Amino acid sequence: MAINPPQEKVWLNFDQKALNAAYDQQVYAPNHVQIIKRMEKNSVLMRQRIGEPHTFSYGPSPIEKLFYYPASEPDSPIHIHVHGGAWRQRKAESMLFPAEAFVKAGIGFAIFDFISVEETNGDLNPMLTQICSGLAWLAKNARTLGGDPDRLYLSGFSSGAHLGSAAIVADWNPFGFEKIPYKGAVLISGMYDLHPVRLSNRSEYVRFTDEIVDMMSAQRHVDKFNIPVILSHGSDETPEFKRQTREFAETLRIAGKPVQYLSIEGYNHYELMESLGNPYSPLGSAAIAQTRENS
């Protein structure tokens, strides 16, 4: 009987196959199709209950659309979400479902579309530019939209959490601000060091240059991390998504940055995102509380 030789380790204790799996959330979430369909359906049902969102263009290209639900009271805080999808999937309209919980809590809710990495020849830079453009547009127009520009908060999920973290440490001068004009963030199951991601099969569709890995790895730029952040992951996620969140939280803590770390029991990657729309879940309640406590 032939014995397969041990595979070479490419990152920590992972061989190539295991590392690829550790950056493929679907491997650790056998119900992912069901959860994604449920989030999409709940977005439709939510629109039937509270109406259609206001739609705005935050940039010149057709994809640069922002969807917004105002709170009932003027000068309310606004929460904006950066959706996930492995940098290449999902549309904002299919992830509208958290809006109802935020609006009922007196918080405006926005979500926006941006270009896919598959449309940029694997370059993450245009995605980050559009993320910053969308966040800047909301900050500049918050008052007109009935919100308070001094009470803006953001969240991001998965690749959206990565892009959100990269936006926090980005150069904001090209967008009209000295620093990100937001008071806090909730980053859900993201990637904050792109080096091991580069070693995985995600490099088949993302061009991870040395410059990109350095510039867009928030863990390497904690000195620029200047807003309170909640970092969360589910207990049933991949080992790398858990490690990335845990170690980034510890790095921020050691640097004296305001950080709250949530390891939420009983949730996989997709279930955790779904829970953002539940104001009684650990994640949903933390996101709403962050806005209220810092307003």
**Can you give the CATH number for the domain in which 216 is found?**
3.40.50.1820
105 domain residue, yes or no: yes
Q: Supply the pLDDT for residue 294.
A: 63
pLDDT beyond 90 at 2: no
Give yes or no for a contact between 81 and 160, defined as CB atoms under 8 angstroms apart.
yes
7 domain residue, yes or no: no
Q: What is the arrangement of strands in the sheet containing 54-57, beginning at the earlier edge strand?
A: 54-57, 65-69, 108-112, 76-82, 147-157, 184-188, 229-234, 259-264
13 domain residue, yes or no: no
**Distance in angstroms (rounded) separating the CA atoms of residues 180 and 139:** 9
Q: Element (H or E) spanning 157, and its range? A: strand 147-157
**Distance in angstroms (rounded) separating the CA atoms of residues 28 and 24:** 8
43 domain residue, yes or no: yes
pLDDT beyond 80 at 229: yes
Q: Tell me the whole-structure pTM to 2 decimals.
A: 0.96
Angle between helices 125-141 and 159-168 (to 10 degrees): 70
pLDDT beyond 90 at 66: yes
Give yes or no for a contact between 50 and 100, defined as CB atoms under 8 angstroms apart.
yes
Pairing of strands 9-11, 14-15: antiparallel
Segments forming the whole domain that contains residue 50: 18-293
Terminal alpha carbon distance of the chain:
67
Total domain count for the chain?
Answer: 1
11 domain residue, yes or no: no
pLDDT tens, position by position, 126-157: 999 999 999 999 999 999 999 999 999 999 99
